[in-house]
C-alpha cells in the first residue's frame, strides 16, 4: 500500500482546507495482478500489472463532493481536495449521507487472508505449470487440444480513514485457474472445462481441475437431441451458481430503491420454494470475497436473504441503509474512483439433505441433468427472464443414459426457484458464488 503517512497527510490537509466541521473520508486501494493465458500448445499472453489510487469524500453543509487521483504527489493531492470541495457546491443537500463509525467490537482481521507466496515464484515457473496441465489433458487420446488455460493471482490492499476517527487497512490474495478442452471421437467435437478460485495458492489442485475438465468434455461425446417438452431437471453446482448469479443483484438495496430489483416491495413475502435458503456471508472462512470490513469500514456479517422461500433482508451500505432507516449489512463495494454500492460478498444457497445421486434417482421418468449453459450473459437480471443453450445428460430411473446438446431452456428465474423440488448436500463455490445441486420439478425445454 502507498505510504500510510502520505495518506494521513492528505486527510490533515483536507481538514485544514475544508474546515474541521466537515466530514472527510480517504479511501485508497492498490492491486497487483499476474495473468497467464495458454492456448493450443503455446503461450498466448502473460502480463504483470499494478494499479493504485486514492479517492476523497468531503461532506460540507449536507452536500458531498468526491474526487480521485492515481498521481501521488503534492500538487495532485492539493487538486484532489479542491476538486472535491468544488464538486460539492453543485449538488443538493442529502440527509442520507454519512460516514462509518469505528466498530465497538474488535474486527476479525484473521478474515483478511494474504498468502505470502504471492509474487514469489518466477513467471516462467507458473508458465511451466500450465504447460504441464496441458500435457496431462492431452494424455487422454480423445482430447485434441486445450482451447484455453488461464492462471491468475492477485493481491488487493485497502486503506480507509475518516473524520469519525475510523482508520482501517487490510490485504487479501486470490488465485484462480481454469482450463477448457476439445474432445473428439472422430465423429463429433465437444468442449468442456473446469475452474477453481481460492485465497491460498496451495488450495488449488491443478491436476484435479484439469482431469475434471477432460471428463466434462469427453463425457459429452455421442450427444443427442431430445424432443421439446417440460422435464424434471437437475442442475449441477456450476449451473446452479450461474442462475444464482442472475438473481444476486436483486438483493442490493440500491437496486430495490432504483426499482430495478425483482424483490422490490416483497420483503417478508414468499418469493420462491420453501426448500430454498440463500445467504450472504462476508465472514465466511476462506471465502473469495471474505473481509473483516467493507469498503466504507463497516464490519462484514452473515445475512440471511431468503429463509424457506421467504425474502428476509436486502444488502445495504450506509447510504441505502439510511434511506430505509436500518443498519448497514456491511456490503459496501467500491474502488477509489467510484461511489459505494451495496453488493453481495460470498453469496450461496444453503446445502440441503439430498445427495447428488438421490436427486438423480428422483427422476423416474425421463429427465435431464444440466452441466453447462451457453449465453447466460444474455439473460435479463431486471425481469428475470432467461433463454439459454445447455448441455448435459438424459436421465431415466436415476441413471445417465446419454449426453444431450442443441437444446434450450427458458423461463423466469423466480419461477425456476419456485419449482425447486430438492436441494443437494454438495455445496460448492465457483468464485464468490456457491450452490449445491438443485432439482427443478418442471422446466420448459426446447429440443427437436
**Per-residue model confidence as pLDDT tens digits over 237-256:** 999 999 999 999 999 999 99
Task: Report yes or no: 319 and 332 within 8 Å, Cβ to Cβ.
Answer: no
Q: Please state, in angstroms and rounded to a whole number, the distance separating the CA atoms of residues 293 and 291.
A: 5
pLDDT at 188 over 70: yes
**Cα dihedral sign, 13-14-17-19:** negative
Q: What is the mean pLDDT of residues 309-324?
A: 98
Cell numbers at 407, concatenated: 437444446
Could you report the per-residue pLDDT of 364-395, keeping only the tens digit for each? 788 999 999 999 888 999 999 999 999 999 99
405-421: pLDDT as tens digits? 889 999 999 999 999 99
C-alpha 281/C-alpha 330 separation (Å) is 10
- List the one residue out of 150, 125, 131, 120 whose CA is nearest residue 36: 150
Domains annotated for the chain, with CATH where assigned, are 4-216 (3.30.2290.10), 223-244+351-446 (no CATH), 251-347 (no CATH)
- Dist CA 191 CA 176 (whole Å): 20
Pairing of strands 420-423, 143-162: unpaired
Per DSSP (E only), the strands in 339-437 are 341-342, 347-349, 367-374, 385-396, 399-412, 420-423, 428-430, 433-435
State residue 257's pLDDT score.
98
pLDDT, average across residues 291-299: 97
CA 401 to CA 421: how far, in whole Å? 22
**Percentage of the chain lying above the pLDDT 90 cut:** 88
- Does pLDDT of 72 surpass 90? no
Which grid coordinates are listed for 333?
A: 463495494
pLDDT per residue as tens digits for the range 192-221: 999 999 999 999 999 999 999 999 999 999
Question: In this predicted structure, what is the pLDDT of residue 196?
Answer: 97
Alpha helices in 110-250 (DSSP H): 123-138, 206-218, 237-248
The pLDDT assigned to 364 comes to 74
pLDDT band at 2 (very low <50, low <70, confident <90, very high): low
Predicted pLDDT at 163: 95
C-alpha span between 285 and 357 (Å, rounded)? 28
- Decide: 376 and 389 in contact? Cβ < 8 Å: no
pTM for the full predicted model: 0.95
Cell of 368: 435431464
pLDDT mean over 340-360:
97
- 358 band by pLDDT with thresholds 50, 70 and 90: very high
Q: What is the pLDDT of residue 1?
A: 58
pLDDT(20) > 80: no
C-alpha torsion sign, points 266, 272, 273, 279: negative
Residue whose C-alpha is closest to residue 19's, from 56, 52, 59: 59
Which of 210, 173, 172 shows the shortest CA–CA distance to 193? 210
pLDDT category of residue 260 using cuts at 50, 70 and 90? very high
* Cα 386 from Cα 428, distance rounded (Å): 23
Amino acid at each position: 500500500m502507498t505510504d500510510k503517512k502520505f495518506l494521513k497527510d492528505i486527510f490533515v490537509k483536507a481538514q485544514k482546507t475544508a474546515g474541521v466541521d466537515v466530514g472527510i473520508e480517504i479511501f485508497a486501494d492498490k492491486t497487483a495482478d499476474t495473468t497467464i493465458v495458454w492456448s493450443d500448445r503455446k503461450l498466448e499472453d502473460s502480463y504483470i500489472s499494478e494499479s493504485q489510487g486514492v479517492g476523497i469524500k468531503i461532506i460540507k453543509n449536507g452536500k458531498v463532493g468526491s474526487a480521485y487521483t492515481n498521481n501521488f504527489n503534492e500538487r495532485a493531492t492539493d487538486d484532489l481536495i479542491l476538486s472535491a470541495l468544488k464538486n460539492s457546491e453543485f449538488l443538493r443537500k442529502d440527509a442520507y449521507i454519512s460516514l462509518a463509525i469505528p466498530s465497538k467490537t474488535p474486527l476479525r482481521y484473521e478474515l483478511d487472508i494474504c498468502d505470502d507466496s504471492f509474487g514469489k515464484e518466477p513467471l516462467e515457473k507458473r508458465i511451466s505449470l500450465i504447460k504441464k496441465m496441458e500435457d496431462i489433458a492431452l494424455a487422454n487420446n480423445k482430447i485434441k487440444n486445450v482451447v484455453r488455460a488461464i492462471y491468475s493471482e492477485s493481491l488487493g490492499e485497502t486503506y480507509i480513514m475518516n473524520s469519525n476517527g475510523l482508520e482501517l487497512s487490510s490485504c487479501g490474495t486470490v488465485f484462480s485457474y481454469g482450463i477448457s478442452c476439445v474432445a473428439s471421437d472422430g465423429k463429433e467435437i465437444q468442449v468442456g472445462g473446469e475452474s477453481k478460485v481460492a485465497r491460498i495458492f496451495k488450495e488449488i489442485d491443478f491436476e484435479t481441475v484439469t482431469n475434471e475438465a477432460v471428463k466434462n468434455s469427453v463425457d459429452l461425446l455421442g450427444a443427442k437431441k431430445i424432443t421439446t417438452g417440460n422435464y424434471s431437471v437437475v442442475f449441477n453446482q456450476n449451473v446452479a451458481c450461474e442462475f444464482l448469479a442472475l438473481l444476486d443483484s436483486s438483493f442490493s438495496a440500491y437496486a430495490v430503491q432504483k426499482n430495478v430489483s425483482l424483490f422490490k416491495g416483497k420483503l417478508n413475502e414468499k418469493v420462491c420454494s420453501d426448500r430454498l435458503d440463500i445467504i450472504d456471508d462476508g465472514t465466511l472462512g476462506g471465502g473469495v470475497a471474505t473481509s473483516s470490513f467493507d469498503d466504507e469500514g463497516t464490519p462484514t456479517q452473515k445475512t440471511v436473504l431468503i429463509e424457506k422461500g421467504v425474502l428476509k433482508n436486502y444488502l445495504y451500505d450506509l447510504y441505502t441503509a439510511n434511506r430505509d432507516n436500518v443498519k448497514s449489512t456491511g456490503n459496501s463495494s467500491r474502488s477509489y474512483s467510484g461511489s459505494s454500492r451495496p453488493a453481495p460478498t460470498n453469496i450461496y444457497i444453503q446445502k440441503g439433505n439430498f445427495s447428488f445421486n438421490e436427486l438423480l434417482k428422483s427422476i423416474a421418468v425421463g429427465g435431464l441433468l444440466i452441466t453447462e449453459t451457453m449465453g447466460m450473459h444474455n439473460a435479463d437480471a431486471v425481469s428475470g427472464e432467461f433463454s439459454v443453450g445447455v448441455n448435459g445428460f438424459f436421465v431415466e430411473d436415476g441413471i445417465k443414459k446419454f449426453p444431450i446438446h442443441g437444446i434450450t431452456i427458458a423461463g423466469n428465474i423466480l419461477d425456476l426457484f419456485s419449482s425447486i423440488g430438492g436441494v443437494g448436500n454438495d455445496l460448492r463455490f465457483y468464485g464468490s458464488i456457491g450452490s449445491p445441486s438443485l432439482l427443478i420439478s418442471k422446466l420448459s425445454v426446447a429440443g427437436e
